[in-house]
Amino acid sequence: MKKYLLIFTIFLGASLLNAGPLDFGQTSREGAFVDQATAALQKRVKHYPGADKLYRELFYTPVWIGPKGPTGFAKTLLDRVEQDRTVPPVLGLRKDARKLRRELQDLYARPSSLEQKIDMELALSRLYLNYMHYLLYGGIDWKAFDAKRAELTKKYKIKVGWEYYRPKMTPASLLVEATMSGDLRSAFAKAEPKRFKYAKLKKALERYLEIADRGGWKPLPAFKAIKPGQSHPAIPLIRQHLRIEGDLPASASLDSDIYDETLQKAMRRYKLRHGLPGTPVIDAQTRRWLNTSVQYKIAMLRLNLDRIKWIWRQEAPVRIELNIPAFRLYVYEGQHLVDTMRVVTGKPDHPTPVFHNTMKYIVVNPYWKIPESIVRSEMLKHLVKDPYYYERRGKVLHAGWDEDSPRIDPGTINWSQYVGNNKTIPYRFMQVPGTRNALGKIKFLFPNKYSVYIHDTPSKKLFFRSTRAFSHGCMRIQKPRELLKVLALYNSNIDVEGIMEQLGTREKETISLLHEIPVDIVYLTAFVDDYGNLNFRKDIYHYDKYQMDHYAYNPKRKTPNTPAAQAKASQPAGK
């Protein structure tokens, strides 16, 4: 039954495209064509990599060609690919679409054999598979990146995490759904992510491609810092650049060499979009961004669009998103931003992992159970000289991880025996609750294999820095009490008033969330914010570089234009 419904839907589309309402008097002729085409496809499809699975799902029913003309699906496919400016030129898909359109017109302009029609059917399927592979998966070589992460894990002696999630739909399943509904456009819509403002970021890519077509912007000469009110020969070039990227109004002068108030306002906007300090001075950091080419920004946009394709796609009524390069946490209810705050993330040699999880607990007045890696790297040198160095600072020694486990006198331990080797330290340091505790007064837990979490901190000054990569991997937040209040909106068992009183004590309490909250920790160096502004950020962990080195859409790295080759290049095994 499903097969005949597919046939009816596809050829109804062909009829509407070519000859008005379907003529049921020609059913036997249409049926004969489908039977012949199906038999031919079963024989020929094995010569087209990636197409066999597609046609098995379609019962080997032709999708793009009919006895008298192409189907509506063929026109929709060709229109979509030709009009999508974001398709990487290295794939050559837009060129392929234009060529196939001409060949399709020629095919039906004169008598043609079934074999010729089947060749066209398979060529269009190859175009569909390549284009859908681009929409669904992008061009990041996850196998190569996994190998790099393994190298970094060995180098830093900590687990460098980046978890990615294969989209549940496939090109084949989307095409089957589209044939059942009679609308191929629905397949394209479902293939593209709905989260992290993907559509707006794709629009930004289109705009930067247009900027590149017009020549981009000119590089700046070397100069020292330019302060407000000063004149400088580089100012007209800076004005032109900010006009091109949309930060300087069209009414502003492009010729003046004075760093006036209008340019200062535009520069503040530009610096905000690039995560730079809010000072009006045009310094070395600002100059580096201004000298970043439009081609490189296009590469950043493509790369981050492809990262979004592998982020957890399932929607949730309430969710937390944390973008590492932006050093910021966001709480959303649907599409509404409920709250946002600054974050301190892991240092480059202790990178915060990228993954999806679910927040389940809040801990008030937490203990900090210090990892052995920190004891070895930072504490042993002090313990060898003074065993009580950390006890005086509220970090006590226990026989195990349990807070009620026996206390150990650090003066009875020969700490030098653990220096310069991998000998296991059988004792556990904990910092008791209090204002000096490294976790602050509140901890937000989403149990994970990296042992990282979101927490308060006594080191508030770091939040005023523009680059905030200072932790050992956990995420310190600027407003933990505000996050607690937001979570209380969705969890009636959180007594905010009672907890605020409890924070004045050292009494620990663990609260289980009645409504657990999904958490996405991501690494996006190009993104659109909640005000619609395009943002770029410094690649603090060098992940852009590592992924671009093996990026399938890098013009310097020609990737064969076949579904099999594309799949091999960018899809991880077993994910």
Which residues are marked as active site? 455, 474
Angle CA 434–436–437, to nearest 5:
70
CA of residue 461 relative to chain centroid, distance: 29
- Please give the sequence-ordered ranges of beta strands (E in DSSP) within 69-203, or none if there are none: none
Distance between CA 242 and CA 446 in Å, rounded? 42
559, 552 contact by CB (below 8 A):
yes
321, 330 contact by CB (below 8 A):
yes
Dihedral pair phi/psi, residue 536, rounded to 5°: -125, 150
354, 523 contact by CB (below 8 A):
yes
382, 358 contact by CB (below 8 A):
no
Distance between CA 250 and CA 378 in Å, rounded? 54
Instruction: DSSP letter for 298, please.
Output: H
Distance between CA 239 and CA 493 in Å, rounded? 55
Q: Crossing angle, helix 294-309 and helix 198-213, to 10 degrees?
A: 160
CA of residue 288 relative to chain centroid, distance: 24
CB hemisphere CA count around 276 (13 angstroms): 20
Query: From edge to edge, which strands make up the β-sheet containing 428-431?
Result: 368-369, 428-431, 395-398
* Radius of gyration (C-alpha) of the chain in whole angstroms: 29
Which of 472, 458, 467 is closest to 539 using CA atoms?
Answer: 467
Which of 131, 140, 119, 138 is closest to 187 using CA atoms?
Answer: 131
Distance between CA 439 and CA 402 in Å, rounded? 17
Paired residues of 231 in beta bridges: 258
- Please give the sequence-ordered ranges of beta strands (E in DSSP) within 215-366, or none if there are none: 318-323, 328-333, 336-346, 355-364
Distance between CA 243 and CA 170 in Å, rounded? 42
Distance between CA 402 and CA 420 in Å, rounded? 28
Tokens of 131: 């284009």
